[in-house]
Structure formats: structure tokens, C-alpha cells
Structure 1
Amino acid sequence: MTVTVQVDTTRLVATLINVFTVSPDRQEELIELLARATEETMKHQPGFVCANFHASLDGERVVNYAQWESEEHYRAMLDNPEARVHMDQAAKIASDVQPRLFSVVSVHPE
């Protein structure tokens, strides 16, 4: 099944953009961990909408673009012990983790 993520300014969601700084030799390991955590835990949390992972071409960054139905849903996930295990594992691979919540304010499709 293929799901297309659509960014929409009219849908009020909490958008997480999390930038991980990682050694190039561990970029793939981090992406595999994040993908596994999403399949096993995150997508089963109330309010989960989607998650996407982007690998920088220089190998030094991984960006997680995820959406939650609300900031409250995102914050509840942070308190979930299962989710915390995955987040702690990711923090051990990355040298820096910078999560921020955003709102979509402008979209420019093709």
C-alpha cells in the first residue's frame, strides 16, 4: 500500500521537524532505528498521522518530518515508556538532536 503525504495549511496538525546530527557511518543505522520505532511504536500512538525520514547527501544529518493530530498527542507520546526507549536509542547514535514543533503556513505544489 502506498500512502502519499500531503501537506495542507487547512489541516491543523502539530508538525515535528527533528534534525539529527550523525556520523556518516551511522546515518543508515539511525534511519533504520527510526523506521523500526515508527512501525513498532509511534504509528500505534493516539494522534499519529505520519512520519518521513530524510537522509542528507553528505551523510551528516537525518531529518524526521512527522505529524500528530495535536500538540497534546505529541506530548503524550513523549511520556510513553515504549516511545522513550526508541528516542533514547536514537540519541545515543546521534551527536545532536533538535526536535521542534511547527505549523504549516504555506504550501506550493507543482
Structure 2
Amino acid sequence: MTQTTKIETGRGIATLINVFTVLPERQAELVALLSRATEETMRDRPGFLSANLHASADGERVVNYAQWESEAHFRAMLADPAAQEHMTQAAALAESFDPRIYAVESVHHTSGAAL
């Protein structure tokens, strides 16, 4: 069964938002590494729901928006040696990174009115 990212309140899931600052010439390399890490390691860890990678238009940021069933599942992944290897590689490519766990508090969609 394929999971898709659902952003909604009241789900009780842990949302990781990790903002990487990167040199523009390394942005594509970081995105490729994070994508490969997700496919090879993260997606098979217990509690993993989804991951989405965003590259800023200026080339200076990469954002990983990932969902886990719980913060405990996320923390267990952090202790996994295979996951640590990927995270070490990502940290080496980035100038800085800021991973934090969030809860969805509010969601808004278009009213459907023509613009």
C-alpha cells in the first residue's frame, strides 16, 4: 500500500521538518543523497509514513518534510546505524541543518472561488 502525505490536524503523528542550508552548487547533490537515503533506508523503518524534499529556487536550502507515526518511531530511526550513515553524509554536504519535530495545528485550502 502506498502512503501519501496527508497534512491534517488531529492525526497525532510526528512531523519532521529539517531545513538544510547548502551551497548552491551542492543543492542537487544533497537532494539526491536524501532521496536515496529515503528509498534505501528510511522508508523501511517502523513508523515511517512519508517524506517530501523541497529545493529552494535560490539553491541555498533543502527542506525535508517527513511524517512518522510517532516521535518514538522517529527517535528509534535516529539510533539505527544505517540511518546514521546517511545522516552523517547529509550533514557533511550541508553548511547547517535544523531538524525539529512539529505537530500540525492548522490547515487551510482554497475556497474554490475563481481568482
Question: Which bin holds the TM-score, normalised by the shorter protein?
Answer: over 0.9
Matching of residue 58 in structure 1 with residue 58 in structure 2: yes
Call closer, same or farther: CA 1:67–1:3 in 2, change over 3 Å: closer
Matching of residue 5 in structure 1 with residue 5 in structure 2: yes
Deviation at 1:4?
4.2
Q: CA RMSD in A?
A: 1.4
Deviation at 1:84?
0.1
Q: TM-score, normalised by structure 2?
A: 0.92
Q: TM-score, normalised by structure 1?
A: 0.96
Deviation at 1:103?
0.2
In the other structure, the counterpart of 1:25 is 25
What percentage of aligned pairs have identical amino acids? Answer: 62
SS in 1 for 2:82: helix
In the other structure, the counterpart of 2:102 is 102
> C-alpha distance in 1, partners of 2:80/2:37?
13
Task: Give the letter for the 2:14 counterpart.
Answer: A
Does the 8 Å contact 2:17/2:102 carry over to 1?
A: yes
Q: How does 1:79-94 map to 2 (within 5 A)?
A: 79-94=79-94
SS in 2 for 1:58: coil
Deviation at 1:109?
1.9
In the other structure, the counterpart of 2:113 is none
> C-alpha distance in 2, partners of 1:19/1:40?
21
Deviation at 1:3?
5.9
In the other structure, the counterpart of 1:38 is 38
> C-alpha distance in 2, partners of 1:100/1:73?
14
> C-alpha distance in 2, partners of 1:73/1:4?
18
Deviation at 1:5?
2.1
Does the 8 Å contact 2:5/2:67 carry over to 1?
A: no
Deviation at 1:102?
0.3
